[in-house]
Amino acid sequence: MMADTKLRETICQLAKSLFDRGLTHGSTGNISARTDDGGLLVTPTNASFGFLDPARLSRFDATGRHISGDSPTKEMPLHTAFYDTRTKTGAVVHLHSCHAVALSLCDDNDPDNFLPPLTPYGIMKLGKVALLPFFLPGDAAMGEAVRGLAGKRSAVMLASHGPVVAGRDVEAACYAIEELEDTARLALLTKGMNITPLNPEQISAIVTKFDVDWDS
């Protein structure tokens, strides 16, 4: 894992990149990442991804105690649910990205497999994305819903709210959530068209070659 100072800088750089490209807006979105000592660095509540200060990130120790920095995002139960149920999680990213939210509003989604199989990378980086129902922002029930998946999903979509992705490190989590948004955009662009999604044999080949956790 990265040293604390470098990790702080990386979180803020990636957050600004997401903000600058319109993948989240205003003071929406949050990122957490595991530190070398088993603690967490977390983006503060009511903070814009475009203007984060590395020194003001919320710092938690290995016991989950807030020890320095600004107050953390109100979505901490959501983040900790991934760390507690997926042992290889090194970072969690949550956005309010427009196309993913728009797709969640459609009435023909599969709750067990939110994204249609349109590209290899959507499968490789995300596996199956679970669509969770609407919760009030900050509701601890979101964390309980993630725990109910028993670690079987690295990505979820909160209906009418936004995607959440866990990754081995902060870069991987950010890249994966970008793939989720882009796949959702493709799904909306092609909705109602006579498209040819990946077939079961193609999906199976991708899952096998890239060791994707797909069937659970």
Residues annotated as part of the active site:
121
**How long is the chain?**
216
How many other CB atoms sit within 10 Å of the CB of residue 141?
14
| Residue 196 token pair | 């040819």
H/E stretch holding 160 = none
Task: Kindly give the pairing relationship between strand 58-60 and strand 130-132.
Answer: unpaired
How far is residue 209's CA from residue 204's CA, in Å, rounded to a whole number? 9
How far is residue 15's CA from residue 20's CA, in Å, rounded to a whole number? 9
Instruction: Give me the residues paired with residue 94 across strands.
Output: 30, 164
H/E stretch holding 166 = strand 162-167
Q: Give one DSSP letter per residue of 73-131, joined into a string.
A: PTTHHHHHHHHHH-TT--EEEE---HHHHHHHTSTT--TT--S-S--HHHHHHH-SPEE
